[in-house]
Chains A and B, each alone.
Chain A
Amino acid sequence: MAKKKSKEILFDPLFENNPITVQVLGICSALAVTVKLMPAIVMALSVMAVVAFSNVIISLMRRYIPMRVRIIVQLVVIATLVILVDMLLKAFAYDVSKQLSVFVGLIITNCIVMGRLEAFAMDNKPWASFLDGIGNGAGYGLILIIVAFLRELFGNGTLFGHKVIPQWLYDHGYMDNGMMLMPAMALITVGIIIWVQRSLMPQLTEKE
């Protein structure tokens, strides 16, 4: 793990070591924001920013943090960054910030952030930690965007709020599947994504 190349640090978390489907981190906030594409993208960018910068900050301080109180130190750094993100969203994207409601605040307890701080930033240099943060944020965002794309397309027939399913399909009896907008279908969609991914990458299959 010590001497990974920057490229690997950046791209591993996208597929092979994806935070959601493989490391099982940060599912909490991942699913609730995926009804529409726009909030999902905003959420992905916010998480990416928080992971990357908290990784850098903790990595810079890693020699000075006493082991016993490190969780509190990490939480304070994360909470500060999340407050910044929340205020930026409220200032520049008020509608989306209203839709995300409590889930921006929940980035604090998003296990991706804590998990990466513990697993990576505590014993790596700042630049590598930054790449790790960007990579994991992107891996998280990728799943969010796939789920949101499927749910908005089949649930509403729209993407980013624009109609994409042509009218003649509706005339022939096509209907939007309201079920896709229910929370339950987010879970099942992620389950299916995991299934597809593990069929393509058999090394990830769980033995038991």
Chain B
Amino acid sequence: MDLINIFIKSIFIDNMVFAFFLGMCSYLAVSKKVKTSLGLGIAVVFVLTITVPLNYLLNKYLLEPGALKWLSPSLADVDLSFLSFIMFIAVIASMVQLVEMVVERFAPALYASLGIFLPLIAVNCAILGGSLFMQQKAFTNVWQSLSFGLGSGIGWLMAIVFLAAIRERISYSNVPAPLRGLGIAFIITGLMAIGFLAFMGIQI
């Protein structure tokens, strides 16, 4: 039950876009067509689901204060947590590279549709944000972090596909000239965020 709760919560309540504004840059830049935004969204889900549990293990067995106890008792009070930013970003960048190579080798069709987005993802704040929130939430086992990563990814995917669908429609309407493009995208996102407030307090 706990896992499902984390999953639902990270999709609807702690949504990456609407509650924490993470990944806004690519969210706004790529959300002009539903098809491309779906591609980017799937790539984000993919990378988040891999990197969050990986960084969880890294954090638990290497970085946390006292995490090195399993090596030898004399290392029990070593605190490497100041290295966490650089370790997380290195894991993310190399995972993205690895995923790109694996996908290119084994699923060329998927690569053709995701290819251009994968390098973009290394600097998507939602990915690093996922790992940093994971560190802050202090999950007790790796499955919780997996469920959190997957849920956050799906939440992000949902947000970008919704925005793209609305933007496709809005190109037919007469928006005031200075508000066109970026301005209206912000306001739509704001209204969607208000809508998502309705999910606040869901418990399963």
Contacts and interface: CB of A to CB of B under 8 A. Distances in A.
21 contacts: A21-B182, A24-B182, A25-B25, A28-B23, A28-B24, A28-B25, A75-B89, A86-B82, A87-B82, A102-B132, A102-B133, A102-B136, A106-B132, A109-B89, A109-B125, A187-B186, A188-B187, A188-B190, A191-B179, A191-B184, A191-B185
Given A101-B136, A105-B128, A106-B22, A83 B180 contact: no
A28 B27 CA distance: 9
Given A82-B85, A198-B179, A184 B128 contact: no
A184 B194 contact: yes
Interface in A170-208: 182-188, 190-192, 194-195, 197-199, 202, 205-206, 208
Contacts of A105: 84-85, 128, 132
Nearest to B29: A24
Nearest to A113: B123
Interface in A86-123: 86-87, 101-102, 105-106, 108-111, 114
A30 B186 CA distance: 13
| Size band of the interface chain A makes with B | 35 or more
Contacts of A188: 186-187, 190-191
B85 A199 contact: no
A72 B86 CA distance: 11
Contacts, number: 143
Residue in B136, B171, B181 whose Cβ sees the most chain A Cβ within 10 Å? B181
Interface in B83-98: 83-86, 89-90, 93
A110 B125 contact: yes
Given A27-B28, A71-B93, A109-B127, A194 B186 contact: yes
Q: Which 4 A-B pairs have the closest CB atoms?
A: A191-B186, A187-B190, A206-B181, A198-B178
Residue in B85, B179, B189 whose Cβ sees the most chain A Cβ within 10 Å? B85
A114 B132 contact: no
Interface string A10-24: 000000000001001
Interface string A54-97: 00000000000000000110011001101100110000000000
A190 B186 CA distance: 7
Interface of B: 18-25, 28-29, 82-86, 89-90, 93, 119, 122-129, 132-133, 135-136, 171, 176-187, 189-191, 193-194, 197
Contacts of A185: 190
A194 B182 contact: yes
A25 to B, nearest CB: 6
Nearest to B128: A109
Given A28-B25, A30-B24, A71-B93, 19 more contacts: A24-B29, A31-B21, A71-B119, A79-B85, A80-B86, A102-B133, A102-B135, A106-B125, A184-B193, A184-B197, A185-B190, A188-B190, A191-B183, A194-B183, A195-B176, A197-B178, A198-B183, A205-B178, A206-B181
Contact of A28 (B22, B133, B191): B22
B123 A114 contact: yes
Given A28-B21, A75-B89, A188-B190, A206 B29 contact: no
A76 B186 contact: no
Nearest to A101: B136
A208 B174 CA distance: 11
B178 A202 contact: yes
A46 interface: no
